[in-house]
Chain A
């Protein structure tokens, strides 16, 4: 606790942002929707306030209101006061002056927040020069020349830790990696030294190891420059790592507000408690707790990869891309094999190849005894009923024109000849097995929530009682509380039906909760595999160590220690 007190600024710090009774509503086809209802919060100088909530809680809308970025269909009332000016009722010219100088924004997806046809230096300078002629601000009418703007852009890039900023200021966005791009976005936000930065899911699009670096950078901004940050996120680990104070939102209202340690230690509201309970926590609730030896080894080997190689042919003039190289593993009957890795590690490619959606180009991959290298659709088709596949995005994996019942019945129609009555009965059974009422069969996919759709997707994958299920990031598009329920269901059904599963995810904690045996992929290579709990607690490979150390756990006290260990790991 004492450490935290050192970091925090004086208690009487001035208020940088004061939101009072904010109401925002949208005009939609279905009438008026009130997205934010009477939200009040304030941010002190040098403070990181996290606004957390699930999708639709109104947290992003609140963030956008701070910069006056709401679309035309929105109407807002209440007060958002920055430096004595109410953003809600301010004129467009005043608002423009305020943006960048007093408050700046960091967006979720760095690759779309930067314009690909201009150099990053130009984009940072654009903000600096936009404020040059307007007097009265921090610059007292002083004109910022091209040279000075450039110098300040270089300075901003240096601040965010871009190496060699004098040269890289003239680089284009595609010449930076994802994490560096987010650094550039932060540099652009910092260029005019605003006192407040609104960061909307700043690390959601990034890999865990990169996320750790960006969180480190944001923390430095607060500690070194006293910048206040409003952090919008759904990730409780990020909150635990960075925030000083937390505001929990639900359905457009503030449910609870508390300092971070107090919130995690003793949440007051029921909703907060349930939200925290649903967050997967690395090292808790592991599926392979206390397991000393690999399970299910007596059974039939369903998937056997031996030096597997998957190459995407290059476009004209560019070399072929090796997505997967020399990967060997087996999945036996009844076993849940968890495949973790960051984006681009080849985990999805392997899953798709097992399902026959991609082609294996080298080595050997036997799926249910069928060699997948150079496979022909015709000879593989009979085996398809033995394989179920659950896709990442439940919204996109259903044909929007068909009812849920028709979608779930699809595998039965393709492979079996059933009477319509039998078909209906089977669909009802399947829906009930994934805890959906049978009456949902007559609904259309858009009429279900994300979690319900993913259940239906599971029902479809299990319709033919497959021996192997491939689940590609099945919960990454879902909110945590929904994810927890879907994972629980998955676990129950797997235990009951005993199918083998290849569970693919970027989330270590989720993989650990489900898998008996875990493989870690890095740049197309399987760097480590072993019993889930052992890999998580005692990683052997250098990359796995870094990956696990980077993962923020949803517990501020524990995370502070992990952070030190992480620094030591990177330093040593």
Chain B
């Protein structure tokens, strides 16, 4: 049938090209690519700041003096303290840098906890169904119904009794965020599990006599969790906002245990009227830019993952990707996956139906 059976060069993309963010980056063009890169750059700065805090920050987060004596208080930006100092004599720049570390820790702990719990509950609830599903959905809805910050406040009181050490504070913040996020992961995974339950490949596993446990772990789990990286990035930005909100309301971490942007903002309120801008602007900017970066990454991934929203470059080059192979060609010929997709998507299913 086909005379030109092109030898397929690379059949499977190397692993690094299939990683979530990188594959998205490769598929993007134009404005979408710009947004994704801007988001990635902001996020990278944030992560580097957290990782290299001990190197970047000139002083410790709770340092109020050095060899040359106490730091001045409410000092405007100068060569010594490039972003000035706070009313308590902390160096603003150092605290913003250290604050990134706290934020990363909280995100990692909070998202890790909520992903595990949310995915496990969602799988069980969606696949097994019945009364278990009903109970879990009601609980998730109840948690949803609370304002998330209120839940976070209650949890932080329950967990740390309002006191705070570094890990106590981080855990309190992380767990309170976890409680708010579990229903999100739960709902996404449950909806996917319910959809996948009716897919022929799950039914075929059932017909083979595979146990429910095996079906959930092998067939549903891997297919239901594809949108998780996306929720992860979006939730990470929300986690930062919740953490900052907690800190701002005074449920955060004491300045002597760790640096936290929300807490610093809170302390900067009284400075504003006195014309001291640097104590509020820099932590505020740090929050805004970090959230912006993570949101840009998340939103771009969302758009790129959806073939209807993804813009594609129109190549002027004539590529010879038109060789289609069908079953009747010699078995050595390979099916060309994505190539036919464009043409076939508009063709629709042509086979007859029952």
Which residues of A come within 8 Å of B, CB atoms?
A: 26-35, 37, 54-56, 58-61, 64, 70-71, 73, 75, 108, 201, 204-205, 234-235, 250-252, 271, 274, 343, 347-348, 355-357, 381-382, 384-385, 387, 389, 391-393, 396-402, 407, 410-411, 414-415, 435-437, 443-444, 446-452, 460, 472-473, 476-479, 481-482, 485-486, 504, 506-507
Contact = CB atoms under 8 A, between A and B. Distances in A.
A447 B337 contact: yes
Interface residues of B, number: 58
Contacts of B314: 27, 32, 73, 75
Nearest to B204: A397
B120 to A, nearest CB: 19
Contacts of A60: 346-348
28 contacts: A27-B312, A27-B313, A28-B339, A30-B321, A30-B339, A33-B342, A55-B344, A60-B347, A61-B347, A70-B346, A201-B350, A204-B352, A234-B350, A357-B203, A385-B209, A391-B203, A397-B200, A399-B218, A399-B223, A401-B223, A407-B201, A411-B208, A447-B11, A447-B335, A449-B335, A452-B335, A476-B352, A486-B327
B163 interface: no
A54 B326 contact: yes
B354 A347 contact: yes
Q: Please provide the 8 A-B residue pairs with the shortest distance between their CB atoms, ordered closest to farther.
A: A451-B327, A384-B209, A28-B342, A26-B342, A397-B200, A477-B351, A30-B338, A482-B327
- Of B326, B336, B348, which is in contact with the most chain A CB atoms at under 10 Å from its CB? B326
B207 interface: yes
Interface string B206-249: 11111100100011001100000000000000000000000000
Given A55-B350, A398-B201, A387 B315 contact: no
A506 B322 contact: no
Contact of B204 (A391, A437, A479): A391
Given A26-B342, A449-B327, A391 B200 contact: yes
B260 to A, nearest CB: 40
B318 interface: yes
A428 to B, nearest CB: 14
B18 to A, nearest CB: 12
A56 B312 contact: no
Contacts of B326: 54, 56, 449, 451, 479, 481-482
Nearest to B201: A399
A84 to B, nearest CB: 28
A464 to B, nearest CB: 8
Given A27-B314, A400-B223, A449-B325, A384 B343 contact: no
Contact of B207 (A28, A357, A451): A357
Nearest to A435: B331
Contacts of B201: 396-400, 407
B80 interface: no
Nearest to A205: B353
Contacts of A70: 346
Contact of B219 (A356, A389, A399): A399
B320 to A, nearest CB: 9
A35 B350 contact: no
Contact of B317 (A32, A54, A385, A436): A32
